[in-house]
Amino acid sequence: MKITDIKFAMLRVPLKTPFKTALRTVESIEDIVIMVHTDTGHIGYGEAPATAVITGDTHGSIIEAIDRIMKPKLIGQDIADLNHVVGLIQNGIIRNYSAKAAVEMAVYDLWGQLYDAPLYKMLGGGVPTISTDITISVDYIDKMVTDSLEAIDRGFETLKIKVGKDIGVDIERVKAIYAAVEGKALLRLDANQGWTPKEAVYALHKLEDAGVRLELVEQPVKARDLDGMKFITERVNTPVMADESSFGPREVIELIKMRAADIINIKLMKTGGISNAIKIADICSVYDMQCMIGCMLESSISVSAAAHLAVAKSNVITKIDLDGPSLCAFDPVDGSVKFKDAEISISDAPGLGIKSIQGLEALTPRS
C-alpha cells in the first residue's frame, strides 16, 4: 500500500455553545482535514485544528507544512514501513505539531487498514469503551452552575471547569459549582495559564480549606513557567497537571526530573501525533506518573485517533478529556468510534474506522 496523494479540506462544525477559556472564546470548529490516498484505493484521514494561542499553528501553516515539506517526501512511501514513514513526517520540519499529528494519524489509519485491524488493537489492544469528562466554559457563576447541572443530566460524571480569569471570582465559581454537584460529579479545574504561581497556591488552599475536593488542577500558570509549576506542585494537595507546559517527550522528561507536575496531559496536537504520544505514555509508565488524553477543539476524526490510543494505553492514560465531539452541534463523521455524551465506544472496523465525513469543503494549496 503506497501513498499516492494528500488532499486537503476544511471542516466547519458549530459548537452547541461558545467555548470560553482564559485564553480564548470560540464558536465553531474550523479544522483542516487531510486525506492520504494510496495505490490500493484506501484513504487515511487526519485532522488538525489551528490552535494558534497554544500550538502556534494556523490553517495556512498546517497546509504549507504538509503540502510543501511532508507530502513530497511521502509520495511513493509504503505504509508497511510505518517507522520509516513516521520518521519522514517527524524529521522533515521542526515544530508544526498539528500538521504532523494530522498526517501521522492518517498514516496510522492506513496501517490499521493494511492489516485489517482497528488501530487500538494494532497499538496493543484494550477494552474499547472509555468515558470522557465535559468542559464547562468560564462564565458568570450562575451560568456555570446551570451548565454543570445540565452536563450531569446528560450523564457526565466528571466536569472540567475552566477558570483562570479572576482569582477571586474563580474561587467563588468553583465553590458554587462544588456545592451544586457534590456527590454527583468529580471536578477537575483548568486555568489555561491564567494564574500566577502565588495566586494558584492561594486559590487552591482556599478551596482545600473550604472542603472542596478537586481531582486535579490543569496548567495553572504560564506554559514556560516550569519553576512556577513546581512551586505550586510542592505546596498544594490537589494534583497538578501540565498541559501547555508539556508538548513532546523531552518536555515530559524535564517536568518529571524537576518534579514540576503530578500528571501529564497528552494531546496529539502537542505531541505531533501518535508516535510521540506513545513515547510519553511509556515514559510516564516508567515513572509511575498518570496521564490524561486531551484534545483541542477537534471533531470526531482526530478525537477518534486519540480514543484508539487511550484504549491501548489505558494502563497509564487514566483520565479522558475527549469532549470535542460532545461540544459540537452535530457529528459530521460516520465512523466506528461512537461519541454518545460521556461514553466513547470503538467497534472493530479497520484503522480509525472512518467511513464518510459530511460537509467537507475541498481546499487547494497555493502553488
Ligand X SMILES: C[C@H](N)C(=O)N[C@@H](CCC(=O)O)C(=O)O
State yes or no: 295 annotated in a binding site. yes
In angstroms, the CA 82 to CA 294 distance is: 24
Strand bridging mode 354-357 / 129-131: unpaired
Q: Which is closer to ligand X, CB of 256 or CB of 297?
A: 297
**How many positions of this chain bind ligand X (CB under 6 A)?**
16
Subset of 160-179 contacting ligand X (CB under 6 A): 160
In angstroms, the CA 34 to CA 29 distance is: 15
Grid cell locating 278: 506513545
Under DSSP, the state recorded for 336 is: S
Minimum distance of ligand X from residue 319's CB (angstroms): 11
Is residue 20 annotated as part of the catalytic site, yes or no? Answer: no
Minimum distance of ligand X from residue 349's CB (angstroms): 25
296 touches ligand X (CB under 6 A): yes
Q: Which amino acid is at 311?
A: V
Minimum distance of ligand X from residue 266's CB (angstroms): 11
Is residue 175 annotated as part of the catalytic site, yes or no? Answer: no
Q: Interhelix angle for 97-114 vs 300-312, to 10°?
A: 70
Q: Which is closer to ligand X, CB of 12 or CB of 84?
A: 12
192 touches ligand X (CB under 6 A): yes
Minimum distance of ligand X from residue 41's CB (angstroms): 34
324 touches ligand X (CB under 6 A): yes
331 touches ligand X (CB under 6 A): no
Query: Positive or negative CA dihedral for 314, 319, 321, 325?
Result: positive
Query: Positive or negative CA dihedral for 74, 90, 86, 34?
Result: negative
199 touches Mg ion (CB under 5 A): no
Q: Which is closer to Mg ion, CB of 62 or CB of 296?
A: 296
Minimum distance of Mg ion from residue 328's CB (angstroms): 18
With CB under 6 A as the contact rule, the residue among 191, 260, 295, 310 that binds ligand X is: 295
Q: Which is closer to ligand X, CB of 109 or CB of 243?
A: 243
218 touches Mg ion (CB under 5 A): yes
State yes or no: 16 annotated in a binding site. no
Q: Using only C-alpha atoms, what is the Rg of the chain? A: 20
CB within 8 Å of 33: residues ≥ 6 apart? 8, 9, 10, 11, 45, 46, 47, 102, 301, 357, 360
130 touches ligand X (CB under 6 A): no
In angstroms, the CA 62 to CA 45 distance is: 15
20 touches ligand X (CB under 6 A): no
Q: Which is closer to ligand X, CB of 3 or CB of 342?
A: 342
Q: Which amino acid is at 181?
A: V
With CB under 6 A as the contact rule, the residue among 16, 24, 250, 340 that binds ligand X is: 24
Residue 116 has, within 13 A of its CA and on its CB side, a CA count of: 0
In terms of residues, how long is the chain?
367
With CB under 6 A as the contact rule, the residue among 128, 164, 272, 294 that binds ligand X is: 294
With CB under 5 A as the contact rule, the residue among 109, 133, 243, 251 that binds Mg ion is: 243
Q: Which partner from the list ligand X, Mg ion, none does 323 bind, CB cut-off 5 to 8 Å by kind?
A: ligand X
Helix (H, G, I), strand (E, B) or coil at 94: coil
Contact 246, 270 (CB under 8 A): yes
State residue 270 phi and psi, 5-degree precision.
-100, -35
31 touches Mg ion (CB under 5 A): no
Under DSSP, the state recorded for 353 is: -
State yes or no: 218 annotated in a binding site. yes
Site of interaction with ligand X (CB under 6 A)? 21, 23-24, 51, 135, 160, 190, 192, 243, 294-297, 321, 323-324
Positions annotated as catalytic residues are: 162, 267
